[in-house]
A and B are shown apart, each in its own frame.
Chain A
Amino acid sequence: MHELSLAQSLVERVEAEAAKAALLKVTRVEASLGSLLGVEKDLFEEAFAISARGARCEGARLELRAEGAEARCRACGERYEPEWQDFQCPACGLAEPEILKGRDLFLYALSGEQAN
């Protein structure tokens, strides 16, 4: 369910970018998933394929990179890498991070057939 909502967001974005660039068909999508989204890569790929039905990116190859997380402790200022189920600061032990990286989904590039 979670994967599907994120995949739908990605498809919407791909469609918008494709329309802007006059891509009639999208054959390849390069994206990254933040580790804190807690998304299963396989499920996400499946969700993307389902969400893309009827869209320009239907059948497109999805190339996913993993994006690591980064946080700054709101209590002591320490920078650290939080995990999906553990946001505790290694310096002060509090779990009050400001998340700097790892909670977004990025669309880096899309390839396809562009109108001449």
Chain B
Amino acid sequence: MCGQCGCTPEDESEASAGPSHKHPHVHEGGEAHSHEHSHGEGEGHRHVHGQGGHSHPHVHGTSEAHSHEHTHGAGQDHDHVHGESPTHAARIVVDKARAGVLGVNSKAADKIREAMTRRGIVLVNITSGPGSGKTTLLKSTLGALESGTAAVLVGDLETERDAGRLRGLGAQVRQINTGKGCHLSAAQIAQALENLELEGLEFVFIENVGNMACPAEFDLGEHVRVALLSLPEGDDKVAKYPGLFAAADVILLNKIDLSRVLPFDEGLVKDDLSRINTRAVLLRLSAMGGQGLDEWIQWLKAFRAAKMPKA
């Protein structure tokens, strides 16, 4: 006997053998039929049949309660598997080739990289924590490059302040407000690039959101990933945020003019980098004071000359 509604299955052994069973019952008007259906252990339901139409209010194991309203004539049997009407339970398997969640971003990034390479434009993604000097580095870099050859895409939470600091230096500046987003995505870059006049450009710099964790995982289609580390942040950042430094092609040690007053062990940074990234170029500079800036500019120009077929 069904423990929930008290009806007796046509075949008791069938009912006890598994979750699938039948309930015979008589409707008003004398139509008798049974329903075959499946439900998990402990899931009950109740039938209240009326002539012609009837409903089944019942509670399933996952606490979805619902009812079916349907009509059937005398003596007609039907089968149904329960799910929330008008739905049924389903499991969707994602095609393996598309399963990578970040892969979507990577594909968009590859498209950007190809498009920029065709135009001979080097895309540079500058990542770092907040306050390590990204905007100052860009001001100095724009000042050192020939006017009109560089543009900047500035990713920032809410404010326009960084973009404002970069205007008036002979470069196109576009702000990308990420709202509450903690990183930029390739799709945002693709859109921002559409709003740039690309003719005559040699470099497009992306000032990523100040954040040492999230931007590391998102390829923006750049040719060069820069990780900026300034002395006041401390010499333990490479070990603490290996993702950011592992993904970098260039590591810029900024604010080196503070080395006289700050205890910062460059040896520790190099030691950590020996385990995290031995490929990256390490340059020391002061974006504000100007020390080491020439080497950075020379590195950029040499990279473009070597890697851009159109340059």
Contacts and interface: CB of A to CB of B under 8 A. Distances in A.
Contacts of A53: none
A99 B40 CA distance: 44
B173 interface: no
A84 B101 contact: no
A23 B242 contact: no
B93 A114 contact: no
Contact of B94 (A1, A17, A25, A28): A17
A5 to B, nearest CB: 4
A87 B100 contact: no
B88 A95 contact: no
A108 B98 CA distance: 9
A112 to B, nearest CB: 7
Contacts of B94: 17, 107-110
Contact of A21 (B92, B182, B278): B92
Contact of B103 (A18, A21, A28, A104): A104
Interface string B82-114: 011111111111100001111111000000000
A84 B243 CA distance: 8
B99 A88 contact: no
Interface residues of B, number: 38
A41 B85 CA distance: 35
Interface in A39-76: 74
B93 A108 contact: yes
B279 A9 contact: no
A62 to B, nearest CB: 13
B10 interface: no
A106 B219 CA distance: 17
Contact of A113 (B87, B99, B246, B273): B87
A91 interface: no
Contacts of B213: 1-2, 5
A103 B242 CA distance: 13
Contacts of B84: 25, 113
Interface string A1-39: 110111001100100011001011101100100001110
Given A1-B213, A1-B214, A114-B87, A106 B101 contact: yes
Contact of A85 (B62, B88, B181, B239): B239
A74 B83 CA distance: 53
Nearest to A74: B279
Given A5-B214, A23-B92, A116 B86 contact: yes
B78 to A, nearest CB: 15
B275 A86 contact: yes
A85 B278 contact: no
Nearest to A11: B101
A115 B88 CA distance: 7
B274 A95 contact: yes
A86 B242 CA distance: 8
Contacts of A78: none
Interface string B261-304: 00000000000011111110000000000000000000000000
16 contacts: A1-B213, A1-B214, A2-B213, A5-B217, A6-B217, A9-B102, A13-B101, A37-B243, A85-B242, A87-B276, A87-B277, A95-B275, A107-B101, A114-B89, A116-B85, A116-B88
Given A6-B217, A104-B101, A108-B93, 9 more contacts: A1-B213, A5-B182, A5-B217, A25-B84, A85-B242, A96-B277, A106-B101, A112-B89, A116-B88
* Nearest 3 Cβ contacts at the A-B interface: A2-B213, A114-B90, A113-B87
